[in-house]
Chains A and B, each alone.
Chain A
């Protein structure tokens, strides 16, 4: 009996020690999160360098499929730095009362309307069609709605928009089960390679510009938790340096970067990634240049639907490091 009690105690103590590392972050690793798809591609070189130990910080990396999961993890303090959709960044800032800061922009417009056949020549041709799309509650949904409305199409009445997750929509579009869909770039590339009946019908970035908002369609950005920034300002600076180098590398070494994207499952295959990277509109904007580049876009989203960015325009501290 006594031995059993001791054993039980031992097990309990061990269990507690096993759990502690889950809650604390004793190492000085910076916990970063990237999404599969266009916004994650720019980080592929950073991930690879991190594995080789040649980055300025040590990173523990999480690659997720859904923006909402990433947002939840940042809000819960499980990630320090995350590449997320721009509207989600503003939304997260508002919903956590200033809990995150915007430190870089990484992806401009990468959305396209694909069509099986040859009937969609302009946005107005979409009237009455069913449009399959990704990114409900995120940039793609708001961009699509904005462009439809701007061309006199009521997105709730004149078309049917069906939202699917990226993997499902890509598969269905690739197997020819869908007529009209909206996808971002690496997925577009996958579909075009696998299904020759599909063609690019509309470039949403062009359509955005055609509406004359005077803003730049910017889909992806990098946020850092305000608390983390306060205590680790240097680590964030080093990250930005690592990240800028990574984006530069990816843009110039397309083939190698493609393989890295496949290795970290940001894009399903190296061939697709290599083909997609030049169309991914990778950018690196940081510091004082962020605000003028993004604020106009957020404003357009806000005016179209305040909910898209969490109810109000982010305050000045959103842009301050």
Chain B
């Protein structure tokens, strides 16, 4: 088979639907052959659990609080990443001072941070901090990379034409680093979401999706564990779509 010069294969809606059906069928068969709801509940049992949860106010309150916590942390993380990257790009001293810190944060296991943070702050604040801590290095790293690999010829041209700092920022630098920032924002979103939920599972704040995931383990409600996880996944998709839209609109404004 020739692998060269083949376009990315197209996935049609029917293909996607068939694939989804295939995986759900596999899930059905697996749960049926294990025969224990505690180990692997059937899709029907999960759907039933999810349906039951939809009618409860506590379900929506948990979702609301979790979204609030994680998105607040995410935005703080993006802002912090931008600020630190700006500092690093403008001053060698600041760069020497801050880079190792961000790199250390990037390499530290989330679990270590969560356990430590649980000793320091209120339960509700832990997931927020985790989301922020995970996003900051991603944004920082992408921005630094984009800044250092920018086209210096354009800078020289800007100097030659004496367009000034402000115009250089707007017309030369930002268009070059914006794609990296966007990519970082999208990758960071997934990370923030996952680490935020993990933090909630470990610290168990009052109203939180992560706490409920933990409780479904403690109370042996595996279908609910799946249902909460499904809710997390759906929410994460929705928020990604939302963020993509916002980023697109921002990009449109630039043009």
Q: Does A129 contact B (CB under 8 A)?
A: no
Q: Is B116 an interface residue (CB 8 A)?
A: no
Instruction: Report yes or no: A68 in contact with B38, Cβ–Cβ below 8 A.
Output: no
User: Nearest chain B CB to A320's CB is how many angstroms away?
Assistant: 21
From A76, A92, A96, A307, give the contact of B219 (CB < 8 A): A307
Judge whether B38 and A95 touch: CB under 8 Å: yes
Least distance between A136 CB and chain B CB atoms (Å):
5
> Judging by beta carbons under 8 Å apart, are B39 and A76 in contact?
yes
Q: For residues 223 through 252 of chain A, which have their beta carbon under 8 Å from a beta carbon of chain B? A: none
B39 lies within 8 A of A68 (CB)? no
Q: Can you list 11 A-B contacts with CB-CB less than 8 angstroms, sorted by A residue number? A: A68-B218, A71-B220, A75-B38, A75-B39, A76-B36, A76-B39, A95-B36, A136-B215, A136-B218, A137-B220, A307-B219
Q: Decide if B218 touches A95 in the complex (CB within 8 Å).
A: no
Q: B37: CB under 8 A from chain A?
A: yes
Q: Count A-B pairs with CB separation below 8 Å.
A: 35
Chain B residues in 8 Å Cβ range of A91: 220
Pick the contact of A137: B35, B38, B219, B222 (CB < 8 A).
B219
Chain B residues, Cβ within 8 Å of A88 = 220
Interface core residue of B37, B38, B219, B221 (most chain A CB under 10 Å): B38
**A149: min CB distance to chain B, Å:** 18
A310 within 8 A of B: yes
Query: Separation in Å of the A266 CB from the closest CB of chain B?
Result: 22
The 5 A-B pairs with the shortest beta carbon distances in the complex, nearest first, are: A137-B218, A95-B38, A75-B38, A137-B219, A136-B218
Other A-B pairs beyond A75-B36, A75-B38, 14, CB < 8 Å: A68-B217, A68-B218, A72-B39, A88-B220, A92-B220, A95-B37, A96-B36, A96-B37, A96-B38, A97-B35, A136-B218, A137-B218, A137-B220, A307-B219
Q: Does A268 contact B (CB under 8 A)?
A: no
Alpha-carbon gap, A307 to B220, bound state (A):
9
Which range holds the interface residue count of chain B? 10 to 19
* B interface, CB within 8 angstroms of A: 35-39, 215, 217-222
Q: Does A99 contact B (CB under 8 A)?
A: yes
For B37, the chain A residues whose CB sits under 8 A away are: 95-96
User: Which among A92, A99, A136, A137 has the highest number of chain B CB atoms within 10 Å?
Assistant: A137
With most chain B CB atoms within 10 A of its CB, the pick from A71, A95, A97 is: A95
Residue of B nearest to A69 (CB): B217
How many Å lie between the Cα of A243 and that of B220 in the bound state? Answer: 28
Complex Cα–Cα for A92 and B221 (A): 11
Q: Which residue of B lies closest to A305 (CB)?
A: B219
Residues of A within 8 A of B221 (CB): 307
Interchain CA distance A29-B222 in the complex, whole Å: 30
